[in-house]
Structure 1
Amino acid sequence: MLALQDTARQVADTLNHAINTPTTIPAQDLRFGDLLLKGGWVMIPLGILLVLALVIFFERYFTIRKAAKDESSLMGQVRSSIVAGKLESAIAICRNSNTPLGRMLQKGLLRIGRPIKDIEGAIENVGKLEVSKLEKNIGIVGIVAGIAPMFGFIGTIAGVIKIFYDISKTDNISMGTISGGLYQKMITSAAGLIVGIISYVCYQTLNMMVDKVILKLETDAIEFIDLLEEPSK
Structure 2
Amino acid sequence: MQAVTDTVKNITDTANHAAQQLAAAPKELHFGELIVKGGLVMIPIGILAVLALVIFFERYFTIRKASKNESNLLQQIRSSIHSGNLESAIAICRNNNSPLGRMLQKGLLRIGRPIKDIEGAIENIGKLEVSKLEKNIGILGIVAGIAPMFGFLGTIAGVIKIFYDISMTDNYSMSVISGGLYVKMVTSAAGLFVGIIAYVGYHILNMMVDKVILQLETDAIEFIDLLEEPSK
Q: Taking structure 1 as the reference length, what is the TM-score of the superposition?
A: 0.89
Contact 2:34 2:183 in 1 (8 A): no
**Cα shift at 1:160:** 1.3
CA distance in 1, matches of 2:169, 2:32: 28
Q: 2:223 maps to which residue?
A: 224
CA distance in 1, matches of 2:179, 2:96: 60
- Larger Rg belongs to: 1
SS of residue paired to 1:136:
coil
**Cα shift at 1:170:** 1.4
CA deviation vs aligned residue, 1:209-231 (integer Å, no higher than 9, x gap): 00000000000000000000111
Tell me which amino acid in the other structure corresponds to 2:92: I
Q: 1:5 maps to which residue?
A: none
Task: Among all aligned residue pairs of Structure 1 and Structure 2, give the percentage whose two residues are the same amino acid.
Answer: 79
CA distance in 2, matches of 1:215, 1:33: 45
**Cα shift at 1:180:** 4.5
Mapping 1:68-107, distance limit 5 Å: 68-107=67-106
| Cα root mean square deviation, aligned | 1.7
Matched, 1:64 2:56: no
CA distance in 2, matches of 1:222, 1:177: 69
Matched, 1:203 2:202: yes
CA distance in 2, matches of 1:155, 1:184: 10
CA deviation vs aligned residue, 1:111-153 (integer Å, no higher than 9, x gap): 0000000000000000000000000100001100011111111
SS of residue paired to 1:41:
coil
- Equivalenced residue count is 217
Q: Taking structure 2 as the reference length, what is the TM-score of the superposition?
A: 0.89
CA distance in 2, matches of 1:206, 1:59: 11
CA distance in 2, matches of 1:146, 1:184: 23
Mapping 1:148-159, distance limit 5 Å: 148-159=147-158
**Cα shift at 1:179:** 3.4
Mapping 1:10-159, distance limit 5 Å: 23-24=20-21, 25=23, 27=25, 28-159=27-158
CA distance in 1, matches of 2:164, 2:209: 50
CA distance in 1, matches of 2:168, 2:76: 79
CA deviation vs aligned residue, 1:54-96 (integer Å, no higher than 9, x gap): 0000000000000000101000000000111100000000000
The 10-residue stretch of structure 1 (185-194 or 100-109) with the greater mean CA deviation from structure 2? 185-194
Contact 1:107 1:123 in 2 (8 A): yes
Contact 2:56 2:201 in 1 (8 A): yes
**Dislocated runs of 4+, deviation >4 Å:** none
Tell me which amino acid in the other structure corresponds to 2:219: D
Tell me which amino acid in the other structure corresponds to 2:174: M
Contact 1:39 1:183 in 2 (8 A): no
Q: 1:164 maps to which residue?
A: 163
CA deviation vs aligned residue, 1:142-179 (integer Å, no higher than 9, x gap): 10001111111101211210111110121101133223
**Cα shift at 1:32:** 0.8
CA distance in 1, matches of 2:187, 2:206: 28
CA distance in 2, matches of 1:174, 1:37: 25
In the alignment, structure 2 segments of 5+ residues that lack a partner are none
Q: 1:213 maps to which residue?
A: 212
